[in-house]
Structure 1
Amino acid sequence: MIPPHFEGTTMMKSDRKILASWLAALMLATGSARAGGGDEGPSTSLLDDLAGWKKLPAVALGGGGPLPSWAKAVAVRMPRTAAAMLELDLAQRVRSPLDPKLRASLRWVVARNNRCAYSEAYALADARRAGMDEESIRAVTGDPANWPAAYRDAMEFARLHTVDAPTIPDELFARLVETYGEKKAAAIVLLGAYGNFQDRVVLGLNLPMEPSGPLPPIDVAFAPGAFQSQPLLPPQADLKPLKDGGETVVERDPEWSKLSYDDLQSRLEGQRARTPRLPIPAWDEVKKGLPPEFATRPTRIVWNLVCSGYVPELAVPWSRATRTMWAEAKPDRVFEESLFWIQTRAVRCNYCMGHCEMLLEVAGLDKAAIADRTRRLAGDDWSAFPPQEQRAYAYARKLSKAPWTLTAADYRRLETDLGPDMGMATF
């Protein structure tokens, strides 16, 4: 589960690691969408509802009944992560400070531009559940020139967040702050991040709509101990040096190496000079809104301060989900950060590329080794990496740039190369 992306969109332009992955889909002129669950069927097995609830951690409140397809798929390999995703979905669809009709409209825009018909249907069901009339729904889903005036800036933000996040104008975000206030502007960013992540799970696994779907939000709370709340750094496996003389086994992307490694580093330096779009809260203020287990260790990470400071009700479930994934999947850290570097490069997130380089150093690489690895990843010759890693990097690139083009065969090859657990964790 590589986290969805904030580049150019966040209040801070900050840690898009909360979001990887994600967001380079260009809208088709026809505006067509792909559902997931096409003729090929799901790319992985799904539990039935009863087996799904048995597989998930113990429930403290609520639960039972139909589960969304993505939860039944993820729970096969990572039941704790699937449970954390259910609580995250509930937070986004119920506990967000955004007006429910606006929230559903923005979620539809993200899904439409990712060509994810599954999520489009969910967004419209949520809109109707919130009381949106059919005339308003036709305006939201019709020609952007006729979008509801009250929602237009927010919907345009959601569109750009999905298709070309670095181009979002500062002036547009400033209007969101003026209209909605800082907290709700931050919530709009986190909604886009979550929507882009969720769409990639649905499209990457080719998941079908549930027989009784779209489902309402599942009001559930899992028992204490179900999730990983404390920060976690899995142990690093033995580092394998890169080797010359191999063969590139994946299809080359003609656009990938147009921007050189040196240009990327120059952009990273420019990112450091960016002016935040929202003030950075102080830790002493942020921790007041956090659960005790999140407030024990101060942080200076900008994205953490901004997201947890403005919308902890959305940021905390996101962090629980990502930390639980790390605890459950136990990924190789150098490989995981390399995958994330590919995704951040694909969506042109300068901040996150720098964040990846920092985490590669934490994992044990020195600066020369980090530069060598990322320089090779920035080019179109990946022959220094093992074939299975090359295919995983190509998958991550496609997942980020055009998730609707992924096939069941792509995912099954990923499972063959990495194993079923790490294949699922790659999202």
Structure 2
Amino acid sequence: MIFKSMRIPLIGTALLVGVLPAPPTARGDDAATTTSDAEGWKRLPRTERGGEGPLPTWAKAVAARLPRTAAAMLELDFAQRTRSPLDSVLRAKMRWVIAASNRCAYSQAYALADLDRAGAPSSAIKALVGDPDQWPEADREPLEFARLLTIAAPTIRDELFASLRAKYGDKGVAAMVLLAAYGNFQDRILLGLGVPLEAGGPLPPIDVKFAPGALQLTPPPMPPQAKQHLLESGETVVDRDPEWAQASYDELQSRLERQRARTPRLPIPSWDDVKKSLPPAMTVRPIRIVWTLVCLGYVPELAIPWNHATRTMWAETKPDRIFEESLFWIQTRAIQCNYCMGHCEMLLEVAGLDRSEIAERTRRLASDDWSAFPPPEQRAYAYARKLSKTPWELTAADYKVLEKDLGPDVAMATFWWLCRGLYMTRVSDGFQLPLERENVFSNFYPKATEAEGKPR
């Protein structure tokens, strides 16, 4: 059976009777665990609907540095938990498998609470947290898909995806991919910040609508920035990973070429079809990015809130795009996502590097000698690798190093960006998207004078 290899760390029956291992104190902002809900709402943007009552601890932690981004995350969480085209029972089961694979106690608790809220009997809950070999036959393929998308996305067989597509339809299987992407993003937010479960237990989905201008609906401009030159002399200050350099730069480039020839698992919608389901603000520029066309084309109810969250984070911060894309490149290498690695190269070009500079930078990143990069960057790259591969091993000290090197505000923005990377890669590998040959980002970001929906 495909489940014999499953070794999911279980909370099991202890959770069913309300005994949950307590995650550590919040690392992103220690005050977040003592901030009252009323104070948390005051940090967030003005609302049109909702805006009172209990807040998740992760929302208060993120809002301490990125209040608009935290607002977008609340709307995204509500969409994933209430608007998914997946049956609510199956969705909660898949979310539990994702959380268990990531060893995230917080999300396991929430998934089981959502499963109970969906009306699943206690016997179904006990079966889920028990022996995977005893799972109902109907659950096996979707739960295995969720597990593999979490721990080994590039290994998913086309036959498994095709079987799910036949049973659940294009929209259903697309929603499964976006659920796994969201779960891997959210679990890393929780594990990286170490936020504890709320005192009263898992909260229901929060139905809140923030006022116009709170969220960024269109891509913010990418301002020009000075090129970062590699160091001519330096030393590697992080632990070297012997496995890291086993795939040479040339081999990685060969993988990108193979990805360009990949047949996608779902037909790629046209922009003319996609824009019909989008709000007007999101149709001002044609989109050629396969990743975006597939997500918005099949499950706009889940993809639109995600786009709002990422764009709001960019608008709320002043990112160093070369540093950001270098971090994302590390993540794509760590989990072998060829499509996203190709996009990193495109975005480095948009950020101002020429082809030779991109090749030299990524060649250095592909080795285990990072001496060409400043020590703070090296430590951030090591953090990115750990967050990507073993997020359950993150410690308070890991986050404190980010804060010391980058400052509290930039550390939170960098951390959020890295968690975002594990969403992007799950989508790419879940659908096995063919890498575009042209730079599809060349007209995606508006010039500063053309910026739509400027942040408040």
TM-score by length of 1: 0.91
CA apart distance, 1:402: 0.4
Asked if 1:355 corresponds to 2:340, the answer is: no
Alignment match of 1:252 (pick from 240, 248, 254): 240
Q: Once the two structures are superposed, what CA deviation does each residue of 1:282-341 show, in whole Å capped at 9, x if it has no partner?
A: 111111111111122111100111000000000000000000001112210100111111
Counterpart Cα distance in 2 of 1:385 and 1:184: 44
Asked if 1:85 corresponds to 2:73, the answer is: yes
Alignment match of 1:324 (pick from 312, 324, 328): 312
Alignment match of 1:368 (pick from 339, 351, 356): 356
What amino acid maps onto 1:111 in structure 2? A
8 Å CA contact 1:59, 1:221 repeated in 2: yes
2:383 maps to 395
Q: Which one is further off, 251-260 or 160-169?
A: 251-260
What amino acid maps onto 1:144 in structure 2? P
CA apart distance, 1:139: 1.7
2:449 maps to none
CA apart distance, 1:254: 2.2
What amino acid maps onto 2:333 in structure 1? R
User: Per the alignment, do residues 31 and 390 of structure 1 end up closer, same or farther by CA in structure 2, a change over 3 Å counting?
Assistant: same
Q: Once the two structures are superposed, what CA deviation does each residue of 1:157-196 show, in whole Å capped at 9, x if it has no partner?
A: 0000001000000000001110000001100000000000
1:216 maps to 204
1:117 maps to 105
8 Å CA contact 2:92, 2:112 repeated in 1: yes
User: Per the alignment, do residues 190 and 30 of structure 1 end up closer, same or farther by CA in structure 2, a change over 3 Å counting?
Assistant: closer
Asked if 1:173 corresponds to 2:151, the answer is: no
CA apart distance, 1:43: 4.7
Q: Once the two structures are superposed, what CA deviation does each residue of 1:243-302 show, in whole Å capped at 9, x if it has no partner?
A: 122011111122111111111110010001110100011111111111111122111100
User: Per the alignment, do residues 43 and 301 of structure 1 end up closer, same or farther by CA in structure 2, a change over 3 Å counting?
Assistant: closer
The 3-state SS of whatever aligns with 1:217 is: coil
Alignment match of 2:324 (pick from 322, 330, 336): 336
8 Å CA contact 1:236, 1:334 repeated in 2: no
Asked if 1:142 corresponds to 2:130, the answer is: yes
Alignment match of 1:155 (pick from 120, 123, 143): 143
8 Å CA contact 1:110, 1:159 repeated in 2: yes
2:9 maps to 31
- Give matches, 1:102-113, under 5 Å: 102-113=90-101
8 Å CA contact 1:57, 1:223 repeated in 2: yes
CA apart distance, 1:349: 0.4
CA RMSD of aligned residues (A): 1.6
1:272 maps to 260
Counterpart Cα distance in 1 of 2:36 and 2:238: 36
Q: Which one is further off, 293-302 or 154-163?
A: 293-302
Percentage of pairs with the same residue: 67
1:420 maps to 408
Q: Once the two structures are superposed, what CA deviation does each residue of 1:121-168 show, in whole Å capped at 9, x if it has no partner?
A: 000000000000111112222222111211211100000000100000
What amino acid maps onto 2:62 in structure 1? V
8 Å CA contact 1:80, 1:227 repeated in 2: yes
Asked if 1:98 corresponds to 2:86, the answer is: yes
The 3-state SS of whatever aligns with 1:151 is: helix
1:182 maps to 170
2:333 maps to 345
Counterpart Cα distance in 2 of 1:43 and 1:155: 32
User: Per the alignment, do residues 330 and 41 of structure 1 end up closer, same or farther by CA in structure 2, a change over 3 Å counting?
Assistant: closer
What amino acid maps onto 1:44 in structure 2? D
8 Å CA contact 2:48, 2:210 repeated in 1: yes
1:229 maps to 217
What amino acid maps onto 2:166 in structure 1? E
The 3-state SS of whatever aligns with 1:77 is: coil
| Greater than 4 Å deviation, 4+ residue runs | 27-30
Counterpart Cα distance in 2 of 1:328 and 1:376: 31
Counterpart Cα distance in 1 of 2:80 and 2:162: 23
8 Å CA contact 1:346, 1:400 repeated in 2: yes
Q: Once the two structures are superposed, what CA deviation does each residue of 1:31-63 show, in whole Å capped at 9, x if it has no partner?
A: 257x89645654532132111100100000123
2:273 maps to 285
What amino acid maps onto 1:222 in structure 2? F
What amino acid maps onto 2:222 in structure 1? P
CA apart distance, 1:89: 0.2
Q: Once the two structures are superposed, what CA deviation does each residue of 1:73-121 show, in whole Å capped at 9, x if it has no partner?
A: 0000000000000000000000111110000000000000000010000
Structure 2 stretches of 5 or more lacking a match? 12-19, 417-456
Counterpart Cα distance in 1 of 2:352 and 2:134: 53
Q: Which one is further off, 153-162 or 41-50?
A: 41-50
Alignment match of 2:120 (pick from 122, 132, 146): 132
User: Per the alignment, do residues 220 and 157 of structure 1 end up closer, same or farther by CA in structure 2, a change over 3 Å counting?
Assistant: same
Alignment match of 1:50 (pick from 17, 34, 38): 38
Asked if 1:409 corresponds to 2:394, the answer is: no
What amino acid maps onto 2:408 in structure 1? P
Counterpart Cα distance in 2 of 1:257 and 1:136: 45
Alignment match of 1:68 (pick from 56, 72, 75): 56
8 Å CA contact 1:36, 1:206 repeated in 2: no
8 Å CA contact 1:69, 1:210 repeated in 2: yes
CA apart distance, 1:232: 1.9
TM-score by length of 2: 0.85
User: Per the alignment, do residues 116 and 28 of structure 1 end up closer, same or farther by CA in structure 2, a change over 3 Å counting?
Assistant: farther
Structure 1 stretches of 5 or more lacking a match? 1-26
The 3-state SS of whatever aligns with 1:214 is: coil
Counterpart Cα distance in 1 of 2:242 and 2:402: 22
8 Å CA contact 1:104, 1:123 repeated in 2: yes
User: Per the alignment, do residues 103 and 276 of structure 1 end up closer, same or farther by CA in structure 2, a change over 3 Å counting?
Assistant: same
What amino acid maps onto 2:29 in structure 1? T
The 3-state SS of whatever aligns with 2:138 is: coil
